[in-house]
Amino acid sequence: MKKKVVIVSGASRGIGAATALKLAKEGYLVVGTYNTSAESATKLKLIIEEDGGSFHPVRADIRRFEDCEGVVKEAQKLGQIYGLVNNAGINRDALLIRMNHIDWLEVIETNLNAAFYLTQLVAREMLKNREGSIVNVSSVVGLYGNAGQANYAASKAALIGFTKSLAKEFGSRNVRVNAVAPGFIETDMTAGLNEELKKKAVEAITLKRFGRPEEVAEVISFLISERSSYVNGEIIEVSGGISL
């Protein structure tokens, strides 16, 4: 029997790396994409393999359809593609009147277009096998918006509509599509926030702290696995209650 493969985009750091670690521990063969962080991807591979797991890093610029094709072909060589985690994301924050159009495009291409490319490429196999789970990593910003993040919010809100539409398209073939919407998580993206913004954020969070990547990975692994076999088209906040 072929080993079940899960593709995780942006797997070398933050939520992606935590997700790759978690899924590998659960017995999946994880194919993780990275672009510029080759050293981090190599370190993650060593950590996972020392723990008895399987991790296959693939360098790709997932803004390019051709690179996404290469990732999927690599995954298909290794086993049955069972899962996909569209995790890769960037931010290029600015007020709209000051936002460079390149910053708009780069965020949309990375956060949204790449998810479309990878999902379309894996969907045929999943639908044929009548088995699969896709998890899109959105954001609370996609649910509620945020000043200075129109591009990021637009991309993450679009992922929510993408998730719900595909849940309706794929559900009859036993392929589930869900999303997580993280809040403030301790990653490179939030590390750049100034202390005043961090303080205000913590005050708004009912648990009074930022989340950890591992806490998001727990929810993603649940949604990928058969433990969530009757969950489809859902958007699960992992935000410490920031929206309450």
Residue 98: other Cβ atoms inside 10 A: 8
Distances in Å between the alpha carbon of 141 and those of 132, 165, 184? 27, 20, 10
Q: How far apart are CA 225 and CA 133, in angstroms?
A: 8
Alpha helix stretches (DSSP H) within 79-212:
101-108, 114-129, 140-144, 150-170, 188-191, 195-204
CA angle 208, 209, 215 (to 5 degrees): 125
Q: Quote the tokens at residue 8.
A: 């995780």
Q: How far apart are CA 44 and CA 62, in angstroms?
A: 20
Look at the block and give the residue holding tokens 């393999």.
49
Distance between the two ends of the chain, CA-based, in angstroms? 46
Instruction: Give how far the C-alpha of residue 152 lies from the chain's centroid of Cα atoms, to the nearest Å.
Output: 14
CA angle 108, 113, 119 (to 5 degrees): 145
CA angle 192, 118, 217 (to 5 degrees): 50
Catalytic, out of 28, 117, 152, 230? 152
82 is catalytic: no
Could you give the residue numbers annotated as active site?
Answer: 152
